[in-house]
Amino acid sequence: MSVLAEVVTVLLNGLQQGAIYVLVAIGLSIILGTLKFVNFAHGALYLIGTYAGLLITLEINVTDGKLADWGYATIGLGWGFLAALIIVPIIVFGVGLLMERFVARPFYDRPDTDQILLTFGLAIVIQEVFKILFGGQSYNFARPGWASGQVGLPIIGTFPEWRLYIIGITAAVVVLVYGLIEYTDFGLVVRAGTRDAEMVELLGIKLSRPYLMVFGVGAALAGVAGVVGGPLYAVNPNIGTEVLVPSFLVVVIGGVGSIAGAVLGGILIGETLAVLVAVAPQWSQVGIYVLAAVVLLARPQGLLGSEEVAP
């Protein structure tokens, strides 16, 4: 493989890796930017989305955990990937609504430290519940048959088809969310409430419902990320924690509350990881923290963030 082909391959891998972080980070960013709520349980929503996608798509053999003890050696619906891609965001959207109503809302006016402790504890509880039910074993989330092969591309020859689908699905979802926030009456109310909630409510508009929907949409995005990202990695109860920290770095780099910033931050994190894995794998995880530190030193509100919402 030529040097140019290797460079293009690394860039495409970085774009695909960044796409997963973009999906998770947009939800984090709009919840943090709009509701001023620090949600460390967002990774748990990704975890729920991945397991829900796995169980809707396939039938799996469970050999560990309480489900196996209770006699459920084989579980799953086997409805296929497209069914999971439609159903899982709805499920996680519902989970997000419940989380907003019964967990987040009572803490909106509490200090950030209280929100962090609450959501971090909730994330651990959810992770442990999955560990108790499914055990610590990893499951293989097979790629859909129609996207499991290689596709021919100029310069590099072939590239895994599913990775290109991830980039395409992420791009479509980003456009939909951006349109929802920027070009609808719902988005107008949300953006106005972010700038001056008191004034919006004096005009007779209750913000509790738009805020509830924002939380649900953010959760649904984590569900989509869980479904499309599930086939890339082994599925186990730790995946929510593993995706949470890089996604927070994406929000920090891109700027809180900025969808475009989340996209830019996701691409930068993904490309940084891909390049470092290719040339210096031992520094790959350190590199993204260095990148975040450099951005924060130069621009504390993030690359595309507003100073009004800088943490």
Question: Residue 226 in contact with residue 46, Cβ under 8 Å?
Answer: yes
Q: What is the pLDDT of residue 206?
A: 82
Question: Average pLDDT of 137-144?
Answer: 91
pTM of the model: 0.93
Residue 253 has pLDDT above 50, yes or no: yes
Q: What is the pLDDT of residue 132?
A: 96
* Long-range contact set of residues 68-76: C-beta below 8 Å, sequence gap at least 24: 68/135
What is the DSSP pairing of strand 157-160 with strand 60-61?
A: unpaired
Q: What is the pLDDT of residue 3?
A: 85
Question: Average pLDDT of 18-28?
Answer: 94
81-133 pLDDT, tens digit each: 999 999 999 999 999 999 999 999 999 889 999 999 999 999 999 999 999 99
Half-sphere exposure (Cβ direction) of 292: Cα atoms closer than 13 Å: 19
pLDDT above 70 covers what percent of the chain? Answer: 98
- Tell me the pLDDT band of 310, cut-offs 50, 70 and 90: very low
Residue 154 has pLDDT above 90, yes or no: no
180-195 pLDDT, tens digit each: 999 999 888 888 877 7
Question: Residue 68 in contact with residue 62, Cβ under 8 Å?
Answer: yes
DSSP, residue by residue, 241-272: HHHHHHHHHHHHHH-TT-HHHHHHHHHHHHHH
Backbone angles phi, psi at 47, to 5 degrees: -60, -45
Question: Average pLDDT of 8-30?
Answer: 94
Cα distance between residue 26 and residue 173, in whole Å: 10
Question: Average pLDDT of 49-65?
Answer: 94
Cα distance between residue 265 and residue 82, in whole Å: 28
